[in-house]
Amino acid sequence: MTAILEMRGISKSFPGVKALRNVNLAVEAGEIHAICGENGAGKSTLMKILSGVYPHGTYEGEIIYQGAERRFASISDSEHLGIIIIHQELALVPLLSIAENIFLGNEPAKMGVIDWDVAFSRTRELLARVGLKESPRALITNLGVGKQQLVEIAKALSKKVQLLILDEPTASLNETDSEALLKLLLEFKSHGITSILISHKLNELAKVADHITVLRDGSTVETINCRTEKIDEGRIIKSMVGREMSERYPPREPHVGERLFEIREWRVEHPLHAGREVIKGIDLHVNAGEVVGIAGLMGSGRTELAMSVFGRAYGRNVRGQALMQGRAIDVSSIQKAVANGLAYVTEDRKTLGLILNDDIRSNVTLANLPAIAWRGVLDDHKEATVANQYRSKLNIRSSSILQRTLTLSGGNQQKVVLSKWLFANPQVLILDEPTRGIDVGAKYEIYTIINDLAASGKGVIVISSEMPELLGICDRLYVMNEGRLVGEMPAHEASQEKIMASIMRYEGAAQ
Amino acid sequence: MKHETIAAAAPSRTAGVGVWRTNLRDYGLLASLLVIMAFFEFLTSGVLLAPVNITNLILQNSYIVIMALGMLLIIVGGNIDLSVGSIVGFVGAIAAILMVDYKMPWVPVVGLSLLLGAVIGAAQGWFVAYARIPSFIVTLGGMLIFRGLTGNILLGQFVGPFPKEFQSISSGFIPDFLSPLASTFGDMALFGASFRWTSMLIGVAGAALLLFTSARRWRREKEHTMETEPFPLFVGKNAVFAVLIVGFSYLLSSYRGLPNVLITMGVLILFYMFVTTRMTIGRRIYALGGNRLAAQLSGIRTERLIWATFVNMGLLAGLAGLIVAARLNSATPSAGNSFELDVIAACFIGGASASGGVGKVMGVVIGAFVMGVMNNGMSILGIGIYWQYVVKGLVLLAAVYVDISQKNQG
**Is residue B7 in some structural domain?**
no
Give per-residue pLDDT as tens, B343-368: 999 999 998 988 889 999 989 999 99
Q: What's residue B287's pLDDT? A: 94
Task: Establish if A409 touches chain B: CB-CB under 8 angstroms.
Answer: yes
Q: Has residue A406 got a pLDDT over 90?
A: no
Same domain membership, residue B344 and residue B202:
no
Please give the DSSP secondary-structure letter assigned to residue A427. S
The residue from B258, B287, B318 where one domain ends is: B258
Confidence of residue A440 (pLDDT cuts 50, 70, 90): low
pLDDT in tens, B331-347: 999 999 989 999 999 99
Determine contact: A407 vs chain B, CB below 8 A: yes
Mean of pLDDT values over A144-168: 87
Domain containing B204: what range?
A: 174-258
In a domain, A248, yes or no: no
Which of B199, B234, B258 is the last residue before a domain boundary?
B258
Interface test with A, best of B20, B288, B293, B297 (most A CBs within 10 A): B297
What's the count of helices (H) and strands (E) in chain A, helices before strands? 16, 24
Domain boundary among A159, A184, A205: A159
Q: Indicate the residue among B258, B284, B301 that finishes a domain.
A: B258
Which whole number is the average pLDDT over A378-393?
A: 91
One-letter-per-residue 3-state SS of B143-206 = HHHHHHHHHHHHCCCCECCCCHHHHHHHHCECCCCCHHHHHHHCCHHHHCCCCCHHHHHHHHHH
pLDDT bin (cut points 50, 70, 90) of residue B86 is very high
Q: Which among B61, B25, B130 has a CA at the least distance from the CA of B358?
A: B25
Region B39-64: mean pLDDT is 90
Q: What is the mean pLDDT of residues A216-242?
A: 79
Which of A332, A340, A374, A400 to mutate to probe the B interface, most B CBs <10 Å? Answer: A400
Of B5, B225, B279, the CB nearest to A400: B225
Helix (H) or strand (E) holding A498: helix A496-510
Please tell me the total count of domains within chain A: 4
Nearest to B81 by CA among B307, B327, B291: B307
Q: Residue A17 is part of which domain span? A: 1-82+162-243
User: Cβ of A402 and B278 within 8 Å?
Assistant: no
Residues B293 and B385 in one domain: yes
The verdict on B116 and B184 lying in the same domain is: no
Rounded to a whole number of angstroms, the distance from the CA of A446 to the nearest CA of chain B is 19
pLDDT for A391: 92
In this predicted structure, the answer to whether residue A244 has a pLDDT above a threshold of 80 is no
Q: What is the ipTM of this complex?
A: 0.80
Dist. CA A176–CA A181, nearest whole Å: 9
* Side chain identity, residue A410: G
CA distance B353 to B116: 29
Using a CB–CB cutoff of 8 Å, tell me whether A367 touches chain B. yes
Which whole number is the average pLDDT over B388-398? 91
Longest Cα–Cα distance of chain B, Å, equals 72
Lowest-confidence pick of A210-214, A226-230, A458-462, B22-26: B22-26
Tell me, yes or no, whether A7 and A143 share the same domain. Answer: no
DSSP for A81-106 reads TTEEEE-SS----TTSBHHHHHTTTS
Residues of B in contact with A361 (CB under 8 A): 226
Does B294 sit within 8 Å of A381, measured CB to CB? no
Mean pLDDT of A151-167: 89
Are A176 and A234 contained in the same domain? yes
For residue A410, what pLDDT is reported? 79
Chain A residues touching B18 at Cβ < 8 A? 399, 403
Within this chain, do residues B151 and B161 fall inside the same structural domain, yes or no?
A: yes
Residue A503: the pLDDT is 82
pLDDT band at A324 (very low <50, low <70, confident <90, very high): very high
Question: Do A202 and A36 meet the contact criterion of CB atoms below 8 Å apart?
Answer: yes
Confidence at B186, pLDDT banded by 50, 70, 90: low
* Predicted local distance difference test score (pLDDT) of residue A445: 86
Same domain, A100 and A23: no
Kindly state whether B227 is in contact with chain A, defined as any CB-CB distance less than 8 angstroms. yes
* pLDDT score, position A98: 92
3-state secondary structure of B352: coil
Whether residue B278 sits in one domain with residue B383: yes
The reply to whether A72 and A172 lie within a common domain is: yes
Same domain membership, residue A383 and residue A504: no
| C-alpha distance from A387 to closest chain B C-alpha (Å) | 10
Residue A373 within a domain: yes
Do A417 and A449 share a domain, yes or no?
no
Is pLDDT of B258 > 70?
Answer: yes
**Residue B291 forms contact with A (CB below 8 Å):** yes
Name the residue facing A351 among B4, B7, B293 (closest C-beta): B293
Residue B188: the pLDDT is 52
Q: How many residues does chain B have?
A: 410
How many A×B Cβ pairs under 8 Å?
A: 118
Please check whether residue B306 lies inside any domain of the structure. yes
Q: Are residues B178 and B124 in the same domain?
A: no
What DSSP assignment string belongs to A226-274? TTTS---HHHHHHHHH-----TTS--------SEEEEEEEEEEE-SSST
Contact B11 A399 (CB under 8 A): yes
Domain membership flag for residue A508: yes
Residue A250 lies in a domain: no
A171 and A119, same structural domain?
no
**Inter-chain residue contact B280 with A369, CB threshold 8 Å:** yes
Domain shared by A325 and A350, yes or no = no
In a domain, B233, yes or no: yes
B225 and B104 within one domain: no
Rounded distance between C-alpha atoms, residue B64 and residue B339, angstroms: 7
Q: Is residue B46 part of a domain?
A: no
Q: Does A369 touch chain B (CB under 8 A)?
A: yes
φ, ψ at B73 (rounded to 5°)? -65, -40
Same domain, A237 and A167: yes
Q: Is there a domain that residue B289 lies in?
A: yes
Q: Is the pLDDT of residue B370 over 80?
A: yes
The answer, yes or no, to whether residue A504 has pLDDT greater than 80, is: no
Q: Do A355 and B291 touch (CB under 8 A)?
A: yes
| Domain-located, residue A252 | no
Of A360, A394, A425, at which residue does a domain stop?
A425
pLDDT at A488: 92
Q: CB distance from A370 to chain B under 8 Å?
A: yes
pLDDT at residue B11, as a whole number: 36
Best A342, A366, A409, A413 member to test B by mutation, with max B CBs in 10 Å, is A366
Contact A380 B278 (CB under 8 A): yes
**Of A355, A398, A392, residue with least CA distance to B4:** A398
State residue B16's pLDDT score. Answer: 45
Q: Which of B327, B29, B306 is nearest to B170 (CA)?
A: B327
pLDDT at res. A387? 94
Mutation for testing the A interface, residue in B217, B280, B409 having most A CBs under 10 Å: B280
Asked which of A425, A455, A485 is the last residue of a domain, the reply is A425
Residues B316, B282: one domain?
Answer: yes
Between A372 and A465, residue with greater pLDDT: A372
Q: Average model confidence (pLDDT) for chain A?
A: 87
pLDDT, one tens digit per residue, over B109-124 is 999 999 999 999 999 9
Q: Which residues of B touch A404 (CB under 8 A)?
A: 1, 4
CB of A381 less than 8 A from some CB of B: yes
Task: Please compute the mean of the pLDDT values over residues A170-185 and round it to a whole number.
Answer: 80
Q: Worst-scoring range by mean pLDDT, A6-20, B133-147, B285-299?
A: A6-20
Is B225 within 8 Å of chain A by CB?
yes
* Closest by Cα among A412, A481, A89 to B8: A412
Residues B169-194: what's their mean pLDDT?
68
Residue B1 confidence (pLDDT): 34
- 8 A C-beta contact, residue B165 and residue B106: yes
Q: Closest Cα partner for B285 from B129, B122, B77? A: B77
A182 & A64 share domain: yes
Q: How many domains does chain B divide into?
A: 2
Q: Does B23 touch chain A (CB under 8 A)?
A: no
pLDDT for B348: 94
Please give the share of chain B, as a percent, with pLDDT higher than 90: 54
- Residue A147: pLDDT band by 50, 70, 90 thresholds? confident
Helix B164-171 to helix B106-129 angle, to the nearest 10 degrees?
60
DSSP, res A351: I
Whether A355 sits inside 8 A of B295 (CB atoms) is yes
Residue B23 has pLDDT above 80, yes or no: no
Which of A56-65, A224-233, A372-381, B55-64 is predicted least confidently? Answer: A224-233
Judged by CB atoms closer than 8 Å, whether chains meet at B7 and A399 is answered as yes
Please calculate the CA angle A349-A355-A358 and round it to the nearest 5 degrees: 135
Q: What is the CATH number of the domain that holds A275?
A: 3.40.50.300
CB A383 within 8 A of CB A389: no
Chain A residues closer than 8 Å to B280 by CB = 369-370, 373, 376-378
What's the pLDDT score for residue B2?
A: 37
CA of A337 vs chain B CAs: smallest distance (Å):
9
Q: What is the pLDDT of residue A383?
A: 92
Pairing of strands A17-28, A3-14: antiparallel
**Using CA atoms in the order A94, A97, A101, A104, what is the torsion angle rounded to 10 degrees?**
-110
Q: Is residue B360 part of a domain?
A: yes
Taking the C-alpha atoms of residue A88 and residue B79, their distance in angstroms, rounded to an integer, is 34
A356 within some domain: yes
What tens digit of pLDDT does each residue of A86-144 get? 887 778 888 889 999 998 878 888 888 888 888 899 999 999 988 888 899 999 888 88
In this structure, are A437 and A500 located in the same domain? yes
What lies within 8 Å, CB to CB, of A15 at 6+ separation is A409, A410
Distance from CA of B217 to the nearest CA of A (A): 9
Closest chain A residue by Cα to residue B274: A377
- Indicate if the pLDDT at residue B256 is higher than 60: yes
Give percent helix, percent strand, percent coil of chain B, each to the nearest 5.
75, 0, 20
The answer to whether A281 touches A482, Cβ cutoff 8 Å, is: no
Contact, A211 vs A33, CB < 8 A? yes
pLDDT of residue B239: 87
What does the alpha-carbon distance between residue A270 and residue A276 come to, in Å, rounded to a whole number? 6
Q: Is residue B373 in a domain? A: yes
CA-nearest residue of chain A to B289? A355
A335 lies in some domain = yes
Percent of all residues in chain A with a pLDDT value above 90, rounded to a whole number: 38
Residue B248 confidence (pLDDT): 87
For B188-244, write each residue's pLDDT tens digit.
Answer: 555 666 778 888 888 899 889 888 888 888 887 777 766 667 778 788 888 888 888
Nearest-CA neighbor of A279 among A312, A310, A308?
Answer: A308
B226 lies in the same domain as B313: no
* Euclidean distance between the first and the last CA atom of chain A, given in angstroms as a whole number: 35
B161 preceded by a cis bond (ω within 30 of 0): yes
B118 and B220 in a single domain? The answer is: no
Residue A260 CA to chain centroid, in angstroms?
A: 29
Supply the pLDDT for residue A16.
56
Together in a domain, B88 and B182: no
The answer to whether residue A40 is domain-embedded is yes
- CA distance linking residue B147 with residue A355, whole number of Å: 38
B160 domain-assigned:
yes
Residues A511, A430, single domain; the answer is yes
Chain B contact present for A352, CB below 8 A: yes
Residue of A334, A358, A381 lying closest to B290 (CB–CB): A358
Separation of alpha carbons B25 and B364, rounded Å: 12
Please choose, from the candidates B215, B274, B267, the residue with its C-alpha nearest in 3D space to the C-alpha of residue B241.
B215
Of all residues in chain B, what percent carry a pLDDT higher than 70?
Answer: 88
Same domain, B144 and B219: no
CB proximity B13 to A under 8 Å? no
